[in-house]
Chain A
């Protein structure tokens, strides 16, 4: 099932993110997803997230699909050139994986193989364009495909709380032009910033899923503020996380804060994208508190 059909039906689409393991067994990821994420619409499977080498996104997507979940294949341009990316998309379509999220990807220097060659032959925009070409039955070089053309729900990302919102909006417009059909955002902690962003982003007429991280501690919040692009945790949230360390450690504070952001932003967006970062078990409680 393509998630674009759900957006078209006006559904509030909830997705969450899981990362494949650095190993050969997907059992743990599948088990966690089945236990905690089976109530949501679809599960994003990251592609060597943060440039840390892991099992590929596609095989993990297949494992999740076999377990009855709807996977979204994340595809970055860091590790593969245009030939490999198109080949991967054809393979995904054959395996029945028809939800994709096109990203440029973190630089190789950010990960655990900093000496690796950064590819970036394509980028998020030209990858979306490439997927559209395949849907038309031709590859990026214009050569015809044999048989039925694939059909994807093509997603992209945007960073509403970036310190250069205009640049983000300009890039978002290019992604729409290139064929993006839905957007997932970087984690939002500041509802007001998100609402202001959506005022401008709604002109593109594409569904946007609010990105949410459950903050685990004041330390984590400060770390993200210092190191993670496009993420800003307001001081009052940091204070709240620091006020009762036990409560924060148990996830109670984080879930409350994240639920508050979701409730405030929900009228302005078309879905929710949760990056649980190991706290998958807290997702059902978060959704309950957020009233979803």
Chain B
């Protein structure tokens, strides 16, 4: 089970540039999604005239399903400079992988709740850390793609693009660097020093 919460409004607004296509995922039954807050914010964004489409669906974590459904919105997506995704971390990563040359941003943070984890396809993984880093890393999660879960860039341990821990695993940060270069967002690497917040309690975390 998991909870998604909207990132604070200023953060979301700072992500938005140019024309935007919006995806909402109301997928899992075991998920809390901030439906009303998301709708209010999206209305506000749409009033600015820069939203090319809003699409609400389910299980965007399934790449086949996602591609099939987004096929109907191909034009609106092509018009957009970026895709803003309101879903858990897996959903954002699936969209980012499907649109490798587009800026894909996460509007939500994902928190874990103990209990049944559902049937999410495991091509992408979300640690439900409650402070989604996907907007700094081109939609590839540094916590799950890097063996050390580093959030400030690669370590010196990659050899021929492979991780020091597992030679079958590609260095997550090399993937992130490639993706950032591809979407022209290498400036994301100049963000302030990132320090993770391991507090799992909402109240402590938001302090």
Interface residues, chain A, with chain B CB atoms under 8 Å away: 82, 104, 106-107, 109-110, 118, 120-126, 129, 140, 157-159, 162-164, 166-168, 170-171, 173-174, 177-178, 186, 227-230
Contacts and interface: CB of A to CB of B under 8 A. Distances in A.
Contact of A126 (B164, B189, B194, B198): B194
Given A120-B150, A123-B152, A107 B165 contact: yes
Contacts of A121: 196, 198
A137 B150 CA distance: 27
Given A109-B165, A229-B159, A170 B189 contact: yes
B148 A107 contact: yes
A124 B150 CA distance: 9
A171 B158 CA distance: 13
B156 A129 contact: no
Nearest to B189: A170
A159 B56 CA distance: 46
B204 to A, nearest CB: 12
Going nearest first, the 7 A-B pairs with the smallest beta carbon separation are A125-B152, A171-B153, A129-B193, A229-B159, A159-B156, A104-B155, A120-B148
Contacts of A129: 193, 195
A123 B174 contact: no
B117 to A, nearest CB: 22
B124 to A, nearest CB: 21
B147 A164 contact: no
A168 B154 CA distance: 8
A177 B193 contact: yes
A167 B146 CA distance: 14
A231 to B, nearest CB: 9
B129 interface: no
Q: Is the interface of B mostly helix, strand, loop or mixed?
A: loop
Interface in B167-185: 171, 173-174, 177
A84 B155 CA distance: 21
A132 to B, nearest CB: 9
Given A110-B164, A126-B194, A171-B152, 7 more contacts: A158-B156, A159-B156, A166-B177, A171-B154, A173-B190, A174-B152, A186-B156
A140 B160 CA distance: 35
Contacts of B194: 125-126
A115 to B, nearest CB: 13
A167 B159 contact: no
Nearest to B186: A170
A124 B152 contact: yes
B13 to A, nearest CB: 25
B121 interface: no
B133 to A, nearest CB: 13
Given A120-B149, A173-B190, A107 B164 contact: yes
A170 B153 contact: yes
B155 A164 contact: no
B61 to A, nearest CB: 27
13 contacts: A121-B196, A122-B195, A123-B148, A123-B151, A126-B193, A164-B154, A164-B174, A167-B154, A170-B189, A174-B189, A228-B159, A229-B157, A230-B156
